Structure 1
Amino acid sequence: MPPALPAGGGSPLPAVSSGSGTAFAIGWASLLLAALPLGMALLNLSTLRPPPRAEPGGRRPRLSVLIPARDEENNIGDAVRCVLNSSDVELELLVLDDGSTDRTPDILASIEDDRLRVLRGGPLPRGWSGKQHACSVLGERARHPLLVFVDADVRLEPDALSRLAAFMERHPAVALASGFPHQVTRSWSERLLLPLIHLLLMGYRPAILDRDGLDPAFAAGCGQLFVARRGAYRAVGGHAAIRRSLHDGLTLPRAFRKRGFRTALFDATPMARVRMYEGAAPLWEGLTKNATEGMATPRALPVWTVLLGGGHVLPFLLCVLAPSAPARAALAMNLGLRMLLAGRFRQSLRGAVLHPFGVAGLLGVQWAALWRARRGRPSTWRGRRYSAA
């Protein structure tokens, strides 16, 4: 028999089972979890801006550019040349060769420029991570009022340093500022996982609550590119304040804020680029290395699993297994948000289309890092081992 029609005609009304009703309710929950980051990102994108361009004909700012380098033969030459090609600034460039066993020292020795000083790193002191010790030595030897810490795989545009100086001049209360360079991604693992940095930053960090730049709970940054005022940096204790950390992107801004110094974020997409990891194995090693100083803690990771899994992975699963209007709307929000971020930050559109798989992979990395830390297994980076503690 055909299904009964409602009074007055119209379309048939399918019966709704208790199972489909549960799926419908779960779909609504996923919709709410998907709407949260979309709404927050729309607000945050209006506040995150690139540093302004310097006024022509103004005073040339003085900056010390500081690069820690350990086994960077594939990067250091280009990184140094990009810095030395900077325009409209007075700079010194200090590179610390941190016990490299490849051609890094030879490449540095072949570059002739009076603005470049190469330092030789000694044995790593007990209780320090390699990068923080290298940056600490560089910070102590820097002479100019603004300190720019740059990773060796970052490529600065010629106007990047002048724009950093203009940002600090426009925001005199800011002691430390940081920006995420454009992330160059070439493998599928990179396209899936690395753009999620901006998803977390834009979708889950309420910038409106961070206007004073002083609350350590909202501190954020990118260890690939920092600019600091030398006086504030030394008052904080420099990188010695975070000597054990493997995740200076979070811990350095927190250290500044705990001492009462303001920090800020800017969009570094148009002025710097970086290929952070080349392929799946370095990506896995790099993300698990610093995960336990971010999301992968016993208290935080269950919450993040609900937020990310429920808001970004669950809608896709529901659309496949138990389709409903809320689930489809949630999935549309996910893809719309990723497309929005991909356009703004020049990210891979192919990675954005596969967004649910990327989020699932990110959660897998975090849980693996937590499991490894709970078992006391050390992290490794650049040939060094760091205890799980």
Structure 2
Amino acid sequence: MWLILLPLAALTALTVHTAINAALLRRLGPGEPAEVTERVAVLLPLRNEADRVTPCLEALLAQRKVRHLTIHVLDDGSTDGTAELVRSLAGDKVELIAGAPLPEGWLGKPHACHQLAEAAAEADILSFVDADVILGPHALARAATMLRETGTTLLSPYPKITGTGRLLQPMLQWSWLTFLPLRLMERSARPSLAAAGGQWLVADRAGYARSGGHAAVRTEILEDIALARQIKRTGGRIALADASRHATCHMYSSWRGLTAGYTKSLWASFGSGPAAALVVVLLLFLYVLPAAAAPILAVTGFSRASLVALCAYVLAVTGRAITAYATGGRAWPDALAHPVSVILFGWLTARSFALRRRGALTWRGRSL
């Protein structure tokens, strides 16, 4: 019986924590913002993005309420005509930079972001945006305003995620709201208590420079989280915000692309293989065991234990649904399949470690 009571007690606490975080989560609000008078630079790194950069770039060109806005685009050795497409779409409205060859000891995205930040030396605020992100017309002004109002060095406004992966994609927001005390994270100086989503980051230029910027995280697969931790180490503050009303991100269009994207980086989310195994086992114990046990206990005559297991499953589903409502996601019927999401996450984590051990991890044509 204790094997079922323990998940019930833990899930009660975690679901309450999720609800509190959802209520306290910062959000880019609706309506028209006040004009931003500081110099804002949008930094867009591209590598073979011809198939999806058009809506991103058009949205950037349509930004409003930012008086001094510059857009800097870096083509990182694309072979699919990305640079030519950018020129045809934007002409002289953006600065198009030819990326330098990747130096030894650097990963591709940190190097691209580093070059972009150097190109925007006069900006007061830096906004790093991925090619799969589409910003609403007031998104940038809202985010820049929140950055200043909260006094943070790095703001991570997380967009609404679309595309393939309804079972897996919401797991990141769910993990933040379930396990991370968001407001404590903002106040705490501990680098280990940090989170960020690299799809869209907004940074105070001075604090970014003080931290060493992307040069300080040049070897990191998860450069977004590494940058957030580095900013904390150098006296800065970070914050997360829901931006689902103002931004969307179409991360993956196929299951193959999704598995490749998760596999390349999941190993870096944990300190070690044993730590990853412990986390996966704990998630399976809390979120899969009750769902599997409830029908088995019911048909074998353990009705009270079955009811306890069912309650634990309902709590797990409730936590996932709260996350969806808080971040612009789809609650039903996706939340009902949360145990399946956890199983898939565990499988991808194991796959990520296995491929890393074999030296077989690659991304966008580059070995990791």
Indicate how the Cα distance of structure 1 residues 326 and 296 shifts in structure 2: closer, same or farther if over 3 A, else same: farther
Compare 122-131 and 349-358 and name the one that shifted more.
Answer: 349-358
After TM superposition, list the pairs within 5 Å mapping 1:38-53 onto structure 2: 38-52=15-29
1:76 maps onto 2:53 in alignment: yes
Spell out the pairing of 1:300-339 with structure 2 (5 A cutoff).
300-323=275-298, 324-339=306-321
Match of 1:93 in 2: 71
Which amino acid in 2 is paired with 1:63? V
1:381 aligns with 2:340: no
AA matched with 1:177: L
CA distance change for structure 1 residues 252 and 54 in 2, over 3 Å: closer, same or farther?
A: farther
2:216 is the counterpart of 1:216: no
Partner of 1:8: none
> Which deviations, in whole Å up to 9, do the C-alpha atoms of 1:314-346 show, x marking residues without a partner?
111111322412101001111122222222223
What is the match of residue 145 of structure 1?
124
Please say which of residues 128-137 and 294-303 is displaced more in the overlay.
294-303
Deviations 1:180-219 (A, max 9, x none): 210003x4xx011111111101001122532414211111
Distance 2:11 2:342 in 1: 13
2:109 aligned with 1:131, yes or no?
A: yes
Question: What aligned pairs does 1:116-195 form with structure 2 within 5 A after superposition?
Answer: 116-142=94-120, 143-172=122-151, 174-185=152-163, 187=164, 190-195=165-170
Q: Equivalent residues in 2 for 1:286-301 (5 A)? A: 286-295=261-270, 297-301=272-276
After superposition, the Cα gap between the structure-2 partners of 1:311 and 1:86, relative to the gap in structure 1 and judged at 3 Å, is same
Structure 2 distance, partners of 1:314, 1:371, is 25
Inter-partner Cα distance in structure 2 for 1:94 and 1:81: 14
1:211-245 alpha-carbon deviations (Å, 9 max, x no partner):
41421111100010111111111121110111011
Residue of structure 1 in register with 2:254 after alignment: 279
What does residue 372 of structure 1 align with? Answer: 355
C-alpha displacement at 1:27, in angstroms? 1.1
Root-mean-square deviation (CA, aligned residues, Å) is 1.8
Structure 1, unmatched stretches of 5+, are: 1-23
Aligned partner of 2:241 among 266, 272, 278: 266
Give the ranges of 4+ consecutive aligned residues of structure 1 lying more than 4 Å apart after TM superposition.
Answer: 52-59
Superposition deviation, residue 55 in structure 1: 7.4
Name the TM-score, length of structure 2 as normaliser.
0.92
Unaligned runs of 5+ in 2: 299-305
- Determine if contact 1:33/1:307 at 8 Å carries over to the other structure: no
In percent, how many aligned pairs have the same letter? 32
Which of 1 and 2 has greater Rg?
1
- Choose 290-299 or 304-313, whichever is displaced more: 290-299
**Which range moved further: 88-97 or 200-209?**
200-209
Aligned to 1:358: 341
Note if contact 2:30-2:245 (Cα within 8 Å) is conserved in structure 1. Answer: no
